[in-house]
């Protein structure tokens, strides 16, 4: 649905700017116009996390986050596989509160 799609994209784009009230908030180093291509790239390379049907993670081998992150996590709806959010991460398989 278009409304849902707008919300998901908005949530991904939340990771393009600092949000001071969120202590664990990674930020993409790319501009907004490149983020969705990055999400598509990661989703095509990522394998489903063995313990979480909603989490995909991949090492990209290049910096994608402003704190030097080279990995990315995508959270999907486990039934539809639609992206809920995506963000850079420092380490694979690290639990992020609120996810």
Beta carbons within 8 Å of 68's beta carbon, 6+ residues apart: 90
Of residues 42 and 62, the one with the higher pLDDT is 62
Mean pLDDT for the stretch of residues 74-78: 86
| pLDDT of 7 | 59
Q: How many CB atoms lie within 10 A of CB 50?
A: 8
According to DSSP, the β-strands at 83-89 and 55-59 are unpaired
Average pLDDT, the chain: 80
Q: Domain residues of the chain, as ranges? A: 2-89
1-29 confidence digits (pLDDT tens): 334 445 577 878 888 888 888 878 899 99
35-46 confidence digits (pLDDT tens): 989 988 987 887
CA distances from 18 to 14, 28, 29, 72, 90 (A): 8, 10, 11, 17, 16
Predicted TM-score (pTM) of this structure? 0.77
Of residues 50 and 22, the one with the higher pLDDT is 22
| pLDDT of 95 | 56
Q: Is 89 helix (H, G, I), strand (E, B) or coil?
A: strand
């Amino acid at each position: 649905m278009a409304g849902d799609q707008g919300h998901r994209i908005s949530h991904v784009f939340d990771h393009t700017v600092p949000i001071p009230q969120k202590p664990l908030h990674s930020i993409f180093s790319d501009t907004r116009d490149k983020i969705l291509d990055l999400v598509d790239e990661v989703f095509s390379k990522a394998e489903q996390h063995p313990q979480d049907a909603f989490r995909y993670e991949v090492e990209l081998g290049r910096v994608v986050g402003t704190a030097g992150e080279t990995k990315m996590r995508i959270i999907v709806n486990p039934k539809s596989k639609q992206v809920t959010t995506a963000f850079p991460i420092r380490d694979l398989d690290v639990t992020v509160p609120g996810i």
